[in-house]
Amino acid sequence: MVPIVDTARFLQDLHELRQIGKFKTGVHRPTFSPQDMESRRWLMQRMAEIGLEPSIDGIGNVFGRHKGDGPHLLSGSHIESQNEAGWLDGALGVIGALALARSGLPVDVCAFADEEGHFQIGFPGSRSIVGDLTEEEMDGSRDRTSGTPLREAIANAGLAGIPRMRLDPGRYKGFFEMHIEQGTQLENAGLRLGVVTGIVAIWQWRIVIEGQQDHAGGTTMAERRDAGLTAVRLLAEIDRHFPMLSGERTVWTTGRIALDPGAPSIIPGKADIFFQFRDIDMVVLKRLETGLRALIQESNRRERCKATLHALRLDTPALCDPRMQDALKAAAEQHAPGLWQSMPSGAGHDAQIISQKLPVAMLFVPSIGGISHHWAEDTKEEDLALGAQVLADAAERFLVM
C-alpha cells in the first residue's frame, strides 16, 4: 500500500509555519525566542489535530506520539531557525514527518531543540533524547549571541522543571529526516532528490611549522628557515597528491594559514594551519591520514622547518542504514525516475546523533542556488511535495521490509 500524502495540506502547513517569525521571505526564530516558542505551540496543535499525543520536554524538544500499534518509525528535524534565515531548514523535516503521520503511517514526530546551535552545545535536543547531554553541560551553556545562560532561556520559555524525554529505541524501526540540501549538487546535476549515504566525518588537523623569525632584508635566501615557505610547499604537495587518495565525494580544506608575526618585512618564524578532510568512508579517512602523515614526513626530510601534525577532531562517520536507503531509492525511482542520486551530507544533522540508537536515513531536496542560512533560502514547491511523497512511500516500504 502506497500511503497518499496530502501534499496540499503539507505545503499549507509549511506556509503557515513560515508566518511565525516571518523575516522578508524567510524566518527569524532563534531557539527559545517568543517566535520559536510560538512555533512549538503551533506544532503541538497540529500534532493533536491529527491524533498524535503532543508534549514538550525540558530542553524544548517537541514530541508527537502515535497512539496506535507499532512497529513505529521516528521522523522529524528541528523547528528553530538561524537568525534571519530560511523557512525550510529544519521546518521541512518536521512538517514532512507530520505529513507521514497524517497519511496514516505509524510515525512519532519530533522537533529536536536547537540543532542550529544558538547555544554553546552541539545538538542539545537530539543529544538529550539519546542520553548524551549532562546537566553540567546545560549549566555551562550560554546563547552565543546574547550571552543568556541556557537555564535562564529555558525558564523564560516556561520549560523550567519539565523532565527531559529519553528515546525508547525498542519502539522504533528507524528514523527518517527530510532536509534541504544546502548545496548546489542536485541543482547542478538537474536532479530533484538526494538519498543520503551518510553524514560525513570531519577529521580536523592543525599543522604547526617551526622556522626561524628573521629580518627579511638581512637574511639571504640560503640562510633562511622560512616557516611560511615550508607551509606553502607542503600545502602545494597536499593539493597535488590528495586527489589520488580521495574518494568520489571527499572534500579537503585549508581554512587558515597564520604566519607569525605576519609582518611584511619579517621572515615568518611559525606557520599555523587549519586543515581538514571529510568523508563518510572510514577506509578513505584513514588513507588520507596516512597520506597526510607521509607528506609531512617528506616535508621534514626536505625542508629546514619542522612540521608537526596535531589531530583536533576525528569524528566517526554516521552511515545511513542500507535498507532504509534502499527504500528511499525505490520510492525516488518510482516518483522521479532518473532524477535522484545517492550523496553524502557534508553538513551535520540531528540524524547523526539519533544514529547512535537507531537506524537512520535522510532525504534531500534541492536548494535553489544552494542558498541556506539566509532568508532567500528556497526550494520549488513541486520538489517539496515530491520529497514528502517519496518520504512517505519509503517509510511504508521500510516498515514492511
Which of 226, 303, 350, 378 contacts a second copy by CB under 8 A? Answer: 226
Q: How far is the CB of 188 from a second copy (least distance, A)?
A: 7
Does residue 256 bind a second copy (CB under 8 A)?
A: yes
How far is residue 357's CA from residue 361's CA, in Å, rounded to a whole number?
Answer: 13
Q: Give the total of residues touching a second copy (CB under 8 A).
A: 55
Q: Which of 234, 390 has the CB closer to a second copy?
A: 234
Residues 6+ apart with CB under 8 A from 135: none
At 201, list the grid cell. Answer: 566525518
Among 220, 283, 301, 310, binds a second copy (CB under 8 A): 220
229 binds a second copy (CB under 8 A): yes
Candidate ranges 75-83, 222-230, 318-326, 332-340; the one touching a second copy (CB under 8 A): 222-230
Select 163 or 243, whichever has its Cβ closest to a second copy: 243
Closest distance to a second copy from the beta carbon of 70 (Å): 35
What is the nearest approach in angstroms of a second copy to the Cβ of residue 62?
27
Q: Are strands 62-65 and 72-77 parallel, antiparallel or unpaired?
A: unpaired
Residues whose CB is less than 8 angstroms from the CB of residue 116 and which lie 6 or more positions away in sequence, other chains included: 30, 31, 78, 80, 81, 82, 89, 90
> What single-letter amino acid sits at 125?
G
Q: Which of 128, 125, 130 is nearest to 112 (CA)?
A: 125
Q: Tell me the three state secondary structure of residue 206.
A: strand
Q: Does 293 bind a second copy (CB under 8 A)?
A: no
Strand 306-314, strand 201-210: pairing: antiparallel
If binding is defined by CB under 8 A, does position 262 make contact with a second copy?
yes
- Name residue 65's amino acid: R
CB of 240 to a second copy, least distance (A): 9
Spatial CA neighbour of 77 closest among 331, 352, 330: 352
Q: Which stretch binds a second copy (CB under 8 A): 56-64, 65-73, 234-242, 353-361?
A: 234-242
Compute CA distances 72 → 113, 350, 395, whole Å.
22, 19, 10
- Other beta carbons less than 10 A from residue 78's beta carbon: 28
Applying CB under 8 A, does 257 fall inside the site for a second copy?
yes
The answer to whether the Cα torsion of 190, 347, 361, 33 is positive or negative is negative
CB of 365 to a second copy, least distance (A): 14
Which residue type is seen at 394?
A
Q: Residues 346-365 vs a second copy: string with x where CB under 8 A? A: xxx-----------------
Residue 266 near a second copy by CB under 8 A:
yes
Q: Grid coordinates standing for 40? A: 512549538
What is the dihedral sign for C-alpha 276, 279, 285, 287?
negative
Tell me the residue type at 285. L
Closest CA to 331 of 384, 383, 386, 379: 386
Least distance between a second copy and beta carbon 198 (Å): 12
Q: Which of 228, 269, 317, 366 binds a second copy (CB under 8 A)?
A: 228
233 binds a second copy (CB under 8 A): yes
Which range binds a second copy by CB under 8 A, 69-77, 89-97, 267-275, 292-300? Answer: 267-275
At 131, list the grid cell. 542520553
Question: Is residue 292 within the footprint of a second copy (CB under 8 A)?
Answer: no
Q: Is 337 in the site for a second copy (CB under 8 A)?
A: no
Considering only residues 6-65, where is the footprint of a second copy by CB under 8 A?
Answer: none
Restricting to residues 173-192, name those near a second copy by CB under 8 A. 181-185, 188
Binding footprint of a second copy on the chain (CB under 8 A): 181-185, 188, 200, 202, 204, 215-221, 223, 226, 228-229, 231-233, 235-236, 239, 243, 246, 249-259, 262-268, 274, 276, 278, 312, 345-348, 370
